[in-house]
Amino acid sequence: MIIQMQGGRYPYLRSHERQLRLIAHVYATGANLFEGQRILDKYSSKAIEPELKSDVDADVERFQKLVTGEIENTQGLVQFLEEGGDIGMVLLPQETTWGFSTNLPDLLRRKMDIMKRHLQETNEVMNRWFDSAY
Amino acid sequence: MGFRMATVAFSFLLAASIGIRLLAAAGNEVRAAGDQNLEITGGWQIRIPPSCHKAVARAAMDLQAFLRDRHRLELKIVEGNGGRGIVLAVNSQQGEGRFSLRAIPVKDQILVEGPNPLAVYQGVLLLEDYLAEQPSVSSSFKRSVVFPFKDRYLIWNALLTGQNKGAIGFDLERHVREAVRLGYTGMECNRFVGMTLSQQGHPRDPYPWYTYWGPSMDQFVTSPLFEGVFPKDYLARNLADLKHVVQVVKSYGLKPIFMGYEPRYVPETFLQRHPDLRGPRVDHPLRSMTPRYSLCTDQPEVLGHYRTLARQLAEEVPDLAEMHVIFYDSGAGFCWGKGLYSGRNGPAYCQNVPMGERMRKFFMSIRQGFLDAGRDIVLVAQPHGGTRGEFDEFFSSVPKEVEFTAGSWASWSLTYEDPLGIDRHVISRQRETGRRTLYYQEHFFGFDVAPTTEFPVPYYLADRLHRALELKLDALNTLGGMVSPPIKERSAMQEVYRRFLLDRATSSDEIVKQVAQDLGGLEGGNLLMAAWKDIHAAIGKNGRNIGFALGLEYASRRTLVRPLVPDPSALLPGERDWWQAYTFGGDLRFGHAHLFRGEGGPLSQDWYRGNYEQSMRTSEVFQHASAALGTFLHDHPDAGGQVPLLAVA
């Protein structure tokens, strides 16, 4: 148990600055996931239109940029969680469907590792139907 | 790595700042020219009535600790009201919901008076605000408070009994004290102990997670019909916890409330032994791996079962003041109900039983069970779904001894505009039938916000509270719950609620301004207001939609930790199982490989673009607000201090 004294006349300001920062990270993740999945959906159907061929290079670049951006956002979130202070989120003794636990930074690192590992597949995945013999 | 908890007591710093603002805002405080100060000194005492209620004793100890920590004054607590001191008095002549603070200079006294122990405690906590800067008041000091709404309940309290129960750092007594401070009169107490679901079945079946909140009576007590259905030690553990929470809540002067989903689904093994008692399918067919059924309440044996459960509960926990029964949603429902997710269904033989008659028999069985135990526990039906026709049948058929809460999907969310037409209709039926007018709204936390501890939309909240005031309600329930120290030392949203109760004639803008300045000072408060106005505008542009990314969704769908990869379906088990195991519906068709595909099927490109735009807008406004506060704190190092809650080990 760490007991820390704190100074300052308005401690809520410090706490709230962090609360806002957490929410900014969460929404940034949301934005990246929405846009990333939008791109993936274009190339995940067998009924893919040949016209999309003209989009694919730009979409590959866009997707890779989104993944890179989400890795940066996640790194920022890990740093935020580990620098001490109000994290603006309830943590549970163990993970459940409704909440995270103290291993959240580890989970975020794992997520980043997987994203980095698979990023190079983007070009292949998005071109697979155009390259298919079917 | 790991975290260690750091407990931080900075309430007094906050109280100091808030006290100044409350003094300025105290509309009925009298300050005449030439007033003398009535100063509290070490020779004063805190005076309480002989053999007083625990809540008054707690209030006295709270005040004693406050004066010691804040002003280094050591006041003894004594019985009797003579002599110098702060006198805490219960005066039943005062109207309900009213309390007063008054200086009596000729006696060297400050009198805190209320009609019941809870009101006295709430008066003491307001007095602490006034005394935050200095241990004195003016000799003409007088403040009288009449709270709006006769009752204010915390129902579906995520941090105490709901999806975030057992949170790291949670402190039951501080949570209940915070409820007192905020102005509540009652709170839900029932939860099941532990984090393992009793009816999980398939370990990856998400549906039992809906039973994480609002546990039913059969999770605490049993009946001859249900003997052995749930393990005795499981029931005993839950019941012991319920008794403990009820005693703590009661000791603060609040009404202990049981909020359960009834009739909720029961184990399939029981129904196989009693096939004639099988009621309707009550799960959500697209969210459940297996059909789940509640009992048929048209069977006399089932009505007897519920009557026995109610009697047992009332005998075991006689201090329960009210029971609120949610009769649809989260695995609950009546035969042939229109609010069932699978559509109207049930056994053929009861298809033509009128719904009003069905509800009358069911609720009156529970009520009779209370009466069998010699307890007149107030029984309230609460709809989460259903139709206007069914509600009308309730009001036409069920005696007024069973009450009914208004509220709908719009009031579940923090930002949607409420009340809806159906809410006004229900409130009018409550009045017509001689019932209390009860209404629920989400105010701070739960549903679309938790596990985030604060989502600052104070202007929406203040407007929502003012709209509720116009409804002239008897009771306003906070659905979703609240946060409390040490998990969150202060929430501006909760301060808005408290200030509204204290000064309801004040406009929304002024309430938010005062809260901002309480919490941030003049300059910092202006920054807070600017931030909240920008957030308000962004959420408004988003159609008042707080969004998929926040709250339950980022936890329950694991969107925060789920990797964004080109081919999610090709992830190896080692890359997927660690997040999918906790993903709501992870093994169902819409939760596995695809991030967003839900029950509505494939999503359009425009749907994604709209959500991306909304998420970006919201992220940017929060990032900008955070950066502005960060710059301010950097430039004013004396302003913010450090507020460590979790620190890396």
DSSP for B530-566?
Answer: HHHHHHHHHHHHTTT---TTSTHHHHHT-TTTS---S
B605 vs A13, A23, A38: nearest CB: A38
pLDDT for residue B191 is more than 80:
yes
Q: Is the peptide bond between B644 and the residue preceding it cis, with omega within 30 degrees of 0?
A: no
Return mean pLDDT, chain A: 89
**pLDDT tens digits, residue range B250-302?**
999 999 999 999 999 999 999 999 999 999 999 998 888 899 999 999 999 99
Interface test with B, best of A13, A107, A118 (most B CBs within 10 A): A13
Averaged over B464-486, what is the pLDDT? 97
From chain B, pick out residues whose CB is under 8 angstroms from the CB of A61.
none
- Is B212 near chain A, with CB under 8 Å? yes
B626 vs A17, A97, A100: nearest CB: A17
- Give CA separation, B109 vs A5, A52, B643, in Å: 34, 82, 36
Strands (DSSP E) found in B432-531: 438-442, 475-480
Q: Strand order in B98-104's β-sheet? A: B76-79, B45-48, B85-90, B109-114, B98-104, B142-146
Secondary structure letter of residue B95 according to DSSP: P
B 152-181 → A contacts, CB under 8 A: 159, 163-164, 166-168
Q: Report which residue type is found at B551.
A: G
Tokens of B596: 């967003």
B567 vs A19, A25, A121: nearest CB: A121
A107 vs B159, B561, B639: nearest CB: B561
- Is B631 near chain A, with CB under 8 Å? no
pLDDT for residue B6 is more than 50:
no
Tokens of B527: 């920054």
Give the chain A residue whose CA is nearest to the CA of B563: A111
- At residue A1 the predicted structure's pLDDT band, cuts being 50, 70 and 90, is very low
Give the C-alpha separation, B624 to B612, whole Å: 18
pTM for the structure as a whole: 0.93
Residues B122, B114: contact at Cβ < 8 Å? yes
A86 vs B575, B608, B643: nearest CB: B643
What pLDDT sits at residue B548?
64
Q: Tokens 């039951």 belong to which residue?
A: B172
What pLDDT sits at residue B362?
98
- Say whether B167 and A24 touch across the interface (CB within 8 A): no
Q: Return phi, psi of residue B474, to 5°.
A: -80, -35
Secondary structure letter of residue B75 according to DSSP: P
- Give CA separation, B254 vs B116, B139, B145, B260, in Å: 10, 32, 18, 19
pLDDT for residue B602 is more than 90:
no
Averaged over A46-70, what is the pLDDT? 89
The enclosing H or E element of A67 equals: helix A56-82
Tokens of A5: 């004294």
pLDDT for residue B240 is more than 70:
yes
Interface test with B, best of A6, A97, A119 (most B CBs within 10 A): A97
From chain B, pick out residues whose CB is under 8 angstroms from the CB of A104.
560-561
- Residue among A10, A132, A69, A30 nearest B558 (CA): A30
- Is B531 near chain A, with CB under 8 Å? yes
Interface test with A, best of B5, B168, B522, B564 (most A CBs within 10 A): B564
